[in-house]
Amino acid sequence: MRLGLNAFGLALVAGVTAGVTLAWAAAPGDGVGTSAEVAVPGDAPATVAEAAATAAPSAAAIPTPSCTPAPLAERAARVLVVGLPGVTDPDDPLIEEVMDVGVGGILLTKTNVDSEEQVAALVDALRRRADRPLVISTDEEPGRVSSFGELIGRSSSARTMAARDEPEDVRAFAADLGAELAGFDVDLALGPVVDLDDGPAQSVIGDRSFSADADEASAYAIAFTRGLADAGVMAAPKHFPGHGRSTVDSHSTASTVEVDLDDLAATDLVPFAEQITEGVPVVMLGHVAYEPLDPDLPASLAPSAYALLRDLGFSGVAMTDSLGMGAVHRRWAFPESAVLSVTAGADAALTTDGNQSRAMRDALVAAVEAGDLPQARLDEAVARMSHLAGADPADLVCVDVEFPELTS
């Protein structure tokens, strides 16, 4: 894998810096398809309309004959994964609001977790009130980032685990963690962190990283992903294309990393490529900008970052980190960042604040109606989210997509 990834990195460097096209996108039904340019430095889309000019559905989008799509608003809502800030009561009005909007997923955070009985009642209410398959996710990593830590106990950090344990031990730990999450009817854990970092433990990534060594980080992160899968819980490795090179906390502000793409391919991208080879269903994109990809846009909003992810062979759900984080929200309001992210290539736009869901959905609808967001791009995202939820994409859209299956 390492040799192949290096070769990929060198080819991509040539493609990006020379402005040549890479065959990463095609219109539905085009088969081998139409190539689209990866954005070059200096060509960053500053508006939704400019982003739309570089957007295209993946070559994996397969048209479904004799199909009538669901209403546009219903489809647009399915690409939203939203939190319920401070909600613990299953009768809270925000639950009715996000169910009425029609979101595709819910993010449970520590503000939603009081007791085992309370969480069970909350998730049961969400499932009952949804008229559709719903992806229930949560932020759960080894160490300090844990939504359920007060109920299931806290663990050592990823860095400590890698220094102390073997990968098979981490797999066993993740299987136990996954069993706990599955007991709360959680489908998706937003982890593991596969960023490379050996800096101060409490920095933005720090001890959340298994290692600064790409091979070691890969081995432990794969073990974590497999352990979750052993318990029936999906993983979402993060934060593509890597956050370890930035010491700036994207929760509060933006940063741009200067690095050669061949160096990135030989280091930070390695753990992501390994996860993709394993068949992981979700990859989360971070809010760090990368100079050779797009110096002006965080990866989560940059078409070139999504193109890079797809060129690594990923066919699952590309999810943004929370769009309410400062690196994005200080510059774009929730509706605009939702449109920019999906237009760029995101299949799931994440926010911790479900109060924003209606405005985000309506912005996506308006963008399609205005021609700023290609309908085929939205439908591709909806198809992937349908697969993630265990639903049939044909219930909503007239395309299907290839979707990864995790290897054993």
Residue 165 appears among annotated catalytic residues? no
Of the residues 321, 353, 379, 400, which is catalytic? 321
The closest alpha carbon to 307, from 55, 80, 76, 42, belongs to 55
Phi, psi of 148 (to 5 degrees): -110, 10
Give the CA-trace dihedral at 55, 61, 65, 71, to 10 degrees: -50
CB 186 within 8 A of CB 105: no
Amino acid sitting at position 33: G
CB-based contact 233:188 (threshold 8 Å): yes
Instruction: Check 176, 251, 263, 362 and give the catalytic one.
Output: 251
Q: Could you identify the residue written with the tokens 């690095």?
A: 259
> What backbone torsions phi and psi does residue 300 show, to the nearest 5 degrees?
-65, -20
**Number of other CB atoms surrounding residue 330 within 10 Å:** 10
Q: Are 234 and 282 in contact (CB under 8 A)?
A: yes
111 neighbors 85 (Cβ within 8 angstroms): yes
Annotation says 243 is catalytic: no
Burial code of 127-164, b = ≥16 C-beta within 10 A, e = fewer? eeebebbbbbbbbbbbbebbbbeebbeebebbbebbee
Residue numbers annotated as active site: 251, 321
